[in-house]
Amino acid sequence: MLHTDQVEELITVVSSLGKDALLQQFAEYPATFPVDFNRDFLDRQSVDRLRHLFLAICLQSKRMPSLVAEEEFVNA
């Protein structure tokens, strides 16, 4: 379970992700349940919608994403 401060950090991190970084996270994030969004569906979504979906996946999985490099996650 994520603590309040972790949830705040998660929201901050996800809100800073650009579309390319979000698409990469959808491909690599180890969700605890099947995530079956295909690339065509994800490509058609707005950045805000992708952030919402990814945040929901992280909250449901109760784990923070592992982010490799900060510069990759600047808004695109």
Please indicate, yes or no, if residue 12 is contained in any of the structural domains: yes
> Does residue 75 lie in a domain region?
no
Specify if 73 maps to a domain. Answer: no
Contact between residue 56 and residue 31 where contact means Cβ atoms under 8 Å apart? no
Model-level pTM?
0.82
Q: Along the 76 residues of the chain, how does pLDDT read in single tens digits?
A: 778 888 999 999 999 999 999 999 999 999 999 999 999 999 999 999 999 999 999 999 998 888 744 444 444 3
Q: Quick check: is 10 in a domain? A: yes
Residue 11 lies in a domain: yes
Q: Is residue 16 part of a domain?
A: yes
Range(s) of the domain holding residue 44: 4-65
From CA 73, how far away is CA 67, in angstroms rounded? Answer: 8
CB atoms within 10 A of CB 33: 8
What is the number of structural domains in the chain?
A: 1
Distance CA 57, CA 29 (A): 9
Is 14 inside any structural domain?
yes
